[in-house]
Amino acid sequence: MSRRAIIPGLVLVLLLIAMLAGVFFGTAEATWADRIAALMRAEAAPRSLGLILWEWRMPRVIAVALVGGGLALAGVLMQTVLHNPLADPYLMGLSSGASAAAVGAILWLPPWIATTFGIPVIAFLGAVLAFAMTLALSMRRGVILSPLVVILAGVAISLMFQSLTAFFLYVGDPYATQSALGWLMGTAAGTGWPDLWAPGLAFALVLVLSLTSARNLDALLLGDERAMALGVAVGRQRIVSFCAVALLAGVAVATVGIVGFVGLIVPHMARLLVGGRHGGLIPLSAILGALVLVVVDLLCRIVLAPEEMPLGVLLAIFAAPPFIIILRRVRVAF
């Protein structure tokens, strides 16, 4: 078997092991026999442990796996369509728009609005608004001007919403500000089964769309002119990819808050393993992204137990060393 066939299988096995570890390990004291019995839903298993494993840990582990895989997939699309190895899913202002909307809702809106609609929904709408503004600034007469214009528009929209978030935090009530800061640093705590349908549907939809467009994405790596010569509708492919990224990033932010680095680093890790052809790069990036976030979420729960670290904090700590290595090799790998 070739390396490109073996590596995704090995990473998938590691992902399944990490997900099992995420379900088994936590602050609750229990024997291994009780844990296995609770996972198998045996009658002799402690009822409280079964509740912890099936209603708290398992949906949380699945959620972070879907979010990690979705962000890595979004990173692949962004880096390809923008011809920029340092692009990530939040480049178009998605995270900034989501954070401004969420913080504004927590600090300023009446409680009944947040209760009725939910902070995740409000954050998703903020991400969609930022994406729409970036896209509007990047287009003339329905045509995207260039990848550079998209990047510059995304930076401008991000700075605007970041300033708005900082203003909200500065003038807001200190007690409410603590809650907003906790959400901004990312957490999967409190995730339940009803929270999985949105990231699951978005991930499945974009994964299928990306795999069917793998040849077009490969052609985009050759440059817009060569891609058009090969019959690729570059403008349409770019808009579809941007919309797919907006969906994945918006749902990710709505599910676990702001989680950076996955969409930036994981695609390069996958390229170093299987190369740049999207037929192999897309599935490996998705699996690898899920693995990274599942492991980091597990560490967030056990490193300072019984206290829990924010996802964004621990992820940034672990992401710095591989980012430095990848940065030195990015010209070769991309």
Q: Locate tokens 């927590």: which residue?
A: 106
**The one-letter amino acid at 245:** V
Q: How far apart are the first and last CA of the chain?
A: 25
Query: Rounded to whole angstroms, how far apart are CA atoms 234 and 302?
Result: 46
User: Is the distance from CB of 251 to CB of 202 less than 8 angstroms?
Assistant: yes
Q: What is the CATH number of domain 3-333?
A: 1.10.3470.10
Query: Rounded to whole angstroms, how far apart are CA atoms 101 and 108?
Result: 10
Burial label, 268 (beta-carbon count in 10 A; 0-12, 13-18, 19+): buried
Could you tell me the maximum CA-CA distance found in the chain, to the nearest angstrom? Answer: 67
Average the pLDDT over 311-332 and give the result: 71
pLDDT in tens, 255-309: 888 888 899 889 998 998 898 899 999 999 999 999 999 999 999 888 877 778 8
> Would you kindly state where each structural domain of the chain is located, as residue ranges?
3-333
Record the pTM: 0.90
Q: Evaluate if residue 79 carries a pLDDT over 90.
A: yes
pLDDT in tens, 88-146: 888 888 888 988 888 888 888 777 776 677 778 888 889 889 989 998 888 877 666 67
The model's confidence at residue 235, banded by pLDDT at 50, 70 and 90, is: confident
User: Is the distance from CB of 65 to CB of 290 less than 8 angstroms?
Assistant: yes
DSSP string, 290-330: HHHHHHHHHHHHHTTTTS---HHHHHHHHHHHHHHHHHHHH
